[in-house]
Structures are given as structure tokens and as C-alpha cells.
Chain A
């Protein structure tokens, strides 16, 4: 049996306000280590909220979420931050690179909060840049790079901490088709290295690079697509565990 890296049980996320919104409703999802999952759905479907919950950037209103065996409901904000830093590599649609720092400095930033020794930090960052094919551009500022290169720097930053989970939020949303192909090829390569990859996208061609596709509508998982075809939502847990 594969070990579950991500396990959501009856997760709900409600936003209180003048008009309360139920962004997630009874979401049950198990993702084993080494899997790659695409969460697809129209905007407003709750896929961003689900990504925030999985990324420990937000907490469920009810239900439980375990990441790497740690129940996120049982730890405080401070440890939740540590969990993000040590277990998850984030890749954002808008790259989130510090514009006044070079590529390698941006990659090195990922280690600042991780209790890793300063010695060797530069070498590890350079190795991560090498892994995304940008070792030669290490000393360039983001402004001197193409969108695809920037996203690869962001992926290198996510990889340098060697997290078990890579979480991508519309990783190709700001890229043209050529750069999209390059970034997706890179993510495919990471999948092959048994890294767990979860990405949200509204682009079916991007989602096709995952070996599982989870659809979302109105805050609920609707269908579960694999290489083999469509599977009803109720069978997701049975299928993946």
C-alpha cells in the first residue's frame, strides 16, 4: 500500500461575512506520495481554496487535513509555518521572485527559515538552478529573464529545500506556449523523480500532464479522471488508498 502524503477528510471551508460563502464542502481526497494530481475547475469553483488548505496557508473550518502524517489541526500557526517551509515547495502563477535579487539569491531565500547551515547554501542553490537548466543564469536579475526562466527559478527555489510535495498554482498561467512546454517538461521530469506534484489549473492540456485529474465545481470534487478514464467522486478515496 502506498503511503498517503495528503489526506483530507470531510474538509469544509466557509467564509463568514454578509453573504457567507461555502468555498469547500465535504472534500475527501487522498494523494499518495509520488503521485501527481491536477485539480481543475472553473474560477470560483474552490480549487484555489483547496490549494491553500493543502499548502497549509489556510485551515479548514471543519474536517481534518493530514500532511505527511501530521494533523494540521493539532499544531499552532508557528508550526504550520514550519510545515510549509519544510514539506512544501510552492510554485506560483506570478512567480513571486524578489525583483531586486539575483536568481541564486532568490533560490537561497528558501533556506533562510529552515535551520539549514549557511555553509553550502550557495552550492545547493546552484545545484537546484542546474536542475532546472539555469545554472548559467544564476547571477541574473529576474527582470533580465523571460517568463519561462523566471518560473524555472521559482521551481528551483521550491526544490532546493527537497520537500516531499510540490504545489503549483497555475504554473503556466503567465507563460506563452513555448515556455509552457518547457515548464511542463520540467515538472514531468520531477514526477519521474517520485516527487509528489499537486497543481491547480484551468487548462486541460496542462492538467493532462498529471496522472490524476480532480475536478471541482461549487466547492465539491466532482469527478476523478485517471489515465484509465472517469471515476465517480464517491470512489476517489477507495481508489487512491
Chain B
């Protein structure tokens, strides 16, 4: 060995050099690099957007669900639906339920069998139009209006006094009011149910529950009992405090009939978490599969282009081998290049997916919700895809013999 030459040391490439070589190689063919990462971009964007939009959407569904459905409990007899034929729900059901902690309002209602009687308005408005209708007639306890969160457009709802006295008064839903040509109660309008005259004391504008009330004529329970022989309330509607619904659902049947609570069927809100997951699963399975397919296509794209790149750069590989690069250095370089493309794909995809989530949320007037892990993990996923895609091309590149490689021009 000549005295002035240093000892032979194994070749090495620093991480920084590896990085700059990979960046330089990608930037040397920017259009190709952009097209290569497109598949990964689309795949990651689809996944992030799917997860983001579904999380946002289920967030909205749950919010709506919390507001109304989570406080909604109804109790009906375990017998067939229809006109009430036997007395299962007691007349004082509403006040029994009202005593339970967590109940905001409770009221009973029933379909009234009017034996085919038609409802007609007193013909003072439009003599030529139809004035006789077959409208559903409902009996309700005064508290029902609170329990279904009814809003009054005009007049008032009836009270306990009307019911006890059996007064012939009625509250009508907005759809029924339309058909009967009633716009308000200023003129003290009256309607006929069959041959019996009822004073309309109130017109509803909206209800949050029991939408069939919108088209019905509603009379006090006491009146229905007296005039139409109503046997018993048909159902109990309970408005609970948020979070109390499941407890009330357990307690209500016992409060109504301690001897035999099994007589009742209770409809309670489904489990909130379960609903959320169900929504997510239904909406997302397809999009997640689509995203994964795009990712697979993206991975194949990177693998393909990296392989082509290896074949095109055989001369360069030969040069690097001549300059002291070992097989592992060549493999490391191509792996770094493919990982870099995957990383860029992941970053761009995560940005696009996040933007898509925000845009959808803005368009639907929703609050965008995105798990922060998703966009942060996306570049990692992209890098892994790049690395895996680069394995075979890198192996091919490393396997080349320097002499063969140098025969190719650069």
C-alpha cells in the first residue's frame, strides 16, 4: 500500500445525501413524478374525505338525535294497534308518569272511534267548496301538547277543566285547519263532528312528535269518553330530560301498572353510540373500499414507474457503482425515491381529503369533524406504500452488475 493513501473504509452515504439524491432524482422528471403520485393522492384523498365526511355527517345525525329523539319515550299497550278496546293504560297515566324524576312532560292520547262521522266546518266561508271531510279525531290529555312540543298558531290548547267537564272544544292541526278553511280562532269558529258542534279554541302550527296530529281534530279525553265512549288512552307520550330516556323507559311500565308491567310496549331511543356506528358503517364501507382500491392502484403506479426509472437509469446505476456505491446504497436510493413519492402523495392526498371534508360541510351547513389522526397518519401511509412499491425495483437495481450497468449510456 502506498504510504500516503488512507486505509480502505466501507462506503457510506449519509441520510442527508440520500435524501438530496432522491429529491434531485424526483425533481429531474417533475411531470413524471407528479403523474406517479397521482394514484396515491387520489387513494389517500378518498380515504381521508370518506372518513372526514362520514364523521361530519354522523356528527350531525347524532346532534339532531340528541335534541329530539333521545328524549322521546312512548308507551303503548302490548295489544294490536287501532281503536282502543280494552282498558290497559289508566286515565291518570300522565300524572303517574309525571312524578318520575327525569320526565319533562307526559300526556296520553287515543284515536277516537267516531263511527264514521264526518267533520265539517260551519259553512260561512266558501259555500261552493267542499266542506265535509273524513278527518281523524284524536283524544288527548292537556299535557300531551307539551309532550309532543306542539306550537300554537292561533288561540290556545284545552286544559284539565275542559276535559273534566267534557266541554265540546277542539284543537286542530294545521293541515286539518287548511281543509276546513280555518285561518284562526278570532271569529270563534266551530266545526261539526257528526251532528255535534265543537268550538275550535286553538290551531296548531307545528308538532315535534306524532306528526299525525297535524291533520287531526283533537278533543279533550274527558269529552271523548263522554261523547264517543272512549275506553282508555291509547298511548302515553313522554318527553324526558336528555340522558333520562333509558331510565324512564324502564320505570314507566312499572309506574303505570306495578302488578303487570309486561302489558306495555315501550319505544325508546336507540343507543346513541350504536346509531353513530351503524351510520358510519353503512355510509362508508363502499368508499373505504374505493379508497383502498385507489391506494392499490397508486402503489402499482409507483412500482411501475420506479421500475421503468431503474431500467432507464442503468447507466447512472453503473456510474454510482463505479463511484463506490455498494448494492445496498443503490437499493436505498431507489427505496428513498419511491418512499418520497409516497410521502408527497400522502401529504397532497391528506390536504385534498381534508379540503373536501370542509367543502362538503360548508355546502351542507355542517360543522366539519375530522379525527386529527387521519390527516396526520396519511403521509405515513403514503410513505409505507411508496416503500413497499419500491422494494422490487430497488432489488432489481441493486442486483445489476457494475460492468453491465456501465455499458448503458446515461
Binding between chains A and B = yes
Contact A82 B11, beta carbon cutoff 8 Å: yes
Query: Nearest A residue to B17 by beta-carbon distance?
Result: A112
Contact A96 B406, beta carbon cutoff 8 Å: yes
Contact B2 A78, beta carbon cutoff 8 Å: no
Residues of B within 8 A of A (CB): 1-2, 5-6, 8-14, 16-17, 21, 24, 28-29, 315-316, 318-329, 401-403, 406, 409-410
Partner of A115, one of B12, B402, B409: B12
- In angstroms, Cα B16 to Cα A120, docked, is 15
- Contact A82 to B1, CB < 8 A, known contacts A57-B406, A96-B410: no
Query: Nearest A residue to B318 by beta-carbon distance?
Result: A96
- CB-CB < 8 A to B24: which residues of A? 100-101, 105
Please give 11 more A-B residue pairs, beta carbons under 8 A apart, in addition to A81-B324, A82-B10, A97-B410. A55-B322, A57-B402, A57-B403, A57-B406, A68-B1, A84-B323, A86-B9, A96-B409, A100-B24, A101-B28, A113-B326
Contact A114 B11, beta carbon cutoff 8 Å: yes
Which residues in chain A, 51-67, are within 8 Å of chain B measured between CB atoms? Answer: 52, 55, 57-58
- CB-CB < 8 A to B12: which residues of A? 113, 115
Min CB–CB distance B346 → chain A (angstroms): 25
Closest 4 CB pairs of A and B: A85-B324, A69-B1, A100-B28, A113-B324
Contact B323 A113, beta carbon cutoff 8 Å: yes
Contact B17 A79, beta carbon cutoff 8 Å: no
Min CB–CB distance B337 → chain A (angstroms): 14
- CB-CB < 8 A to A88: which residues of B? 322
Min CB–CB distance B408 → chain A (angstroms): 9
Partner of A99, one of B2, B17, B410: B410
Contact B11 A110, beta carbon cutoff 8 Å: no
- In angstroms, Cα B11 to Cα A193, docked, is 27
Partner of B320, one of A86, A105, A113: A113
A127 within 8 A of B: no
- In angstroms, Cα B323 to Cα A114, docked, is 9
- Contact A52 to B13, CB < 8 A, known contacts A70-B8, A81-B326, A87-B5: no
Partner of B2, one of A86, A96, A110, A164: A164
Query: Nearest B residue to A101 by beta-carbon distance?
Result: B24
- CB-CB < 8 A to B319: which residues of A? 96, 98, 109
Contact A81 B325, beta carbon cutoff 8 Å: yes
A184 within 8 A of B: no
Min CB–CB distance A143 → chain B (angstroms): 12
- CB-CB < 8 A to B9: which residues of A? 82, 86, 115
Contact B13 A113, beta carbon cutoff 8 Å: yes
Contact A33 B2, beta carbon cutoff 8 Å: yes
Contact A84 B322, beta carbon cutoff 8 Å: yes
A3 within 8 A of B: yes
- CB-CB < 8 A to B10: which residues of A? 78-79, 82
- In angstroms, Cα B315 to Cα A95, docked, is 11
- CB-CB < 8 A to A69: which residues of B? 1-2
- Contact A109 to B324, CB < 8 A, known contacts A68-B5, A82-B10, A86-B8: no
- Contact A85 to B410, CB < 8 A, known contacts A101-B24, A112-B323: no
- CB-CB < 8 A to B324: which residues of A? 81-82, 84-86, 113-114
- CB-CB < 8 A to B401: which residues of A? 58
- In angstroms, Cα B322 to Cα A97, docked, is 13
Min CB–CB distance B316 → chain A (angstroms): 6
Min CB–CB distance A116 → chain B (angstroms): 10
- CB-CB < 8 A to A95: which residues of B? 410
